[in-house]
Amino acid sequence: MPNARERLQMLIEQNPMRVQRVNDHVTSSGPPYDTTWTHRIVIKFDNEETDFTGQGPSKGLAKEDASAKAVDALEWWLA
């Protein structure tokens, strides 16, 4: 199964008319050992920008979880 980055790339390639530009970044906030990861995807379509955000807690695969949630939201919106 593809990871969040691979899924994002596939969505971009499959929807060239709807996704004109993508800016995505992953950030962390909070003290060490209690970090919250946030993945924000900003897409431009029809000259408007929309963003999709996913957050993951500090435990386990938080960074990957945040990315998966953001890509899930984008995938739902494109459906």
Query: CA angle at residue 41 from 74 to 22, to 5 degrees?
Result: 95
Tally of residues, the chain: 79
Second-level CATH architecture of 4-78? 2-Layer Sandwich (3.30)
Q: What is the pLDDT, as a whole number, of residue 10?
A: 92
Q: Where are the alpha helices (DSSP H) in 1-79?
A: 4-14, 62-78
pLDDT band at 58; cut points 50, 70, 90: low
pTM for the predicted model, two decimal places: 0.75
Domain residue ranges of the chain, discontinuous segments joined by +? 4-78
3-50 pLDDT per residue, tens:
888 998 998 899 888 887 788 888 878 777 677 788 888 887 777 788
